[in-house]
Amino acid sequence: MGASKPVVINADTPLSASNPHTWLILNGDPADMAAAPRCMTGTLRPLHRERANSAAEFAAAKLLIDVDAADQPWRSNAYRHEVILPRDADNRFTCPKVLFTDIDAAYVAGAKALLTYVTLTWTPARLHRAWRLAHTLTTELVDEFSVPALVVQHVPGLVANTATPHCHILLGVRTLTGIGWGGHVAALNGDRVWPMVRARFDALLASL
């Protein structure tokens, strides 16, 4: 069971072009819950600390892209990833580069968000169990809100990093249908995201 109220995770972290976790405010479980399943969320806004943000740049950072931006499609170094689309969305958006580049291109001046970001961290006996839980949670959100999403699994131990395996979810904040982009989804913007995702995360953990 997670905390009843999140804390700001990165308030004292200096802005860095190489650290996407400084490009947005992150809310999550407090540090004293390090051994428990943790949930962290944030809203990537067009401007943060005077830094101009891009959905495509953020997605590329989470996919661990190490090739020139002109490369098509992106070649991810993450352990695994998948784009999950609403029922009637165009299949071309299954390419992460196409999806997140289009999110940037379709941005409407004055809108408050580019995407919503979620990280789920826990240590099941098998990596595929963590992937399946994150994939299930993502599919629930995609189906309920008709937004596209990218789910990514990182396994830091593969490069001798001691960090815990975790899954990232990047959610569009506008509906996507067969005719294109639609309205913004208020439930996927700002402080209301963490309690909703944390409750779903806890419910899925309890069902295992």
- Give the residue, 36 or 10, on which the prediction is more confident: 10
Q: What is the CATH number of the domain that holds 143?
A: 3.30.930.30
Supply the mean pLDDT for the chain: 92
Q: Model-level pTM?
A: 0.94
What the block records as the tokens of 155 is 């396994």
pLDDT single digits (tens) 69-85 = 555 667 888 999 999 99
Q: What is the predicted pLDDT for the residue at 69?
A: 55
> For residue 114, what are the domain limits?
36-158
pLDDT single digits (tens) 126-140 = 999 999 999 999 999
What the block records as the tokens of 67 is 């090739």
Q: Is residue 196 part of a domain?
A: no
Structure confidence at residue 3 as a pLDDT band (50, 70, 90):
low
Q: Is residue 171 part of a domain?
A: no
Q: Is residue 45 part of a domain?
A: yes
Residue 1, pLDDT > 70, answer no
Q: Give whole-number Cα distances, 180 to 27, 75, 104, 113, in Å.
A: 31, 26, 14, 18
Q: Is residue 44 part of a domain?
A: yes
Q: What is the DSSP letter of 64?
A: T
Q: What does the chain come to in residues?
A: 208
